Amino acid sequence: MPGRKTDYLDSEWLAEICLNGQIKPSFIPSKEIRELRDLTRTRTKTTQTLTAFKNRVHKVLEKANIRISGVLSELFGIAGLQILNALLDKKDIDEVLKKVKRIGKKKAAIKEAVRGELSQTDIWLIRECLETIDFLKRKINLLDSMINQRIENTKKQDQMQILMSIPGISFTSASAILAEIGDVNVFPNPKSLVGWSGLAPSLNESAGKSSNGHITKKGSKYLRRMLVQCAHVIAGHKPNRLRFFLQRILMKKGKKIAIVAL
């Protein structure tokens, strides 16, 4: 009310609506789910750090005019690491390629891609990154085992199986989704869950006309990111009902809207 707003009056009003039960309580999941959420979010952050160090290795190699990533699909796979370690040790690339398996007809392309030369600083930086990558991989494996144990303790194996039965959702994504949502029965209907997740489109109304805008993004950013990643996996998955739905929306609205809709 204009002209009658002071901290004292506001505190009285807040006390009154609290005593009358007019404030809707916030949803707070159980302690087990909160602890599981801490683990899954830590895993997400660790994975992002791991990706950052991998990108740093790519950057150092490209600066030295060594473009293995353009030939090999995964630089940090078995074959990629064998070639990378050979470059760090200054070994003859022809002798190394004879021992490397699973590269097939790519030998000539790899020889062409490693014409550059690494300096001593480049070699040191890459070795440091590789050590950190190995350390982070061990941490992720440890987190996976802890997450699995927490899920067993909370007796959520049945819900995990339901989530993992959806195409594009693995153990990692299913555990993250379960940790963020907690007990799905708290939500009265699917629309309520979508709104809580921040995936519902905003509603704009002017002069009696309504139109949908961007999603609200008011929910858990961890849940939205994981669901978007799963949607991208489904987009490249073998044909199924979810992919057909994505393609139908894709033709009408474009890729970004289709991914969020999925």
Q: What is the pLDDT of residues 125-139, one digit of tens each?
A: 999 999 999 999 999
pLDDT tens per residue, range 45-98: 999 999 999 999 999 999 998 888 888 888 888 888 888 888 888 888 777 777
What is the C-alpha to C-alpha distance for residues 253 and 258, in angstroms, rounded to an integer?
7
* Residue 54 CA to its chain's centroid (Å): 16
In the chain, % of residues over pLDDT 90: 40
Average pLDDT over residues 170-198: 90
Q: Which tokens in the block code for residue 262?
A: 């999925």
pLDDT tens per residue, range 141-172: 999 999 999 888 878 888 899 999 998 899 99
* 33: enclosing H helix or E strand: helix 31-63
Q: What is the DSSP letter of 184?
A: G
Exposure class string for 63-83: b at 16+ Cβ within 10 A, else e: ebebbbbebbeebbeebbebb
What is the C-alpha to C-alpha distance for residues 223 and 215, in angstroms, rounded to an integer?
14
Contacts of 238 (CB under 8 A, 6+ apart): 167
Q: Give the pLDDT score at 111.
A: 82
Q: How confident is the model at residue 140 (pLDDT cuts 50, 70, 90)?
A: very high
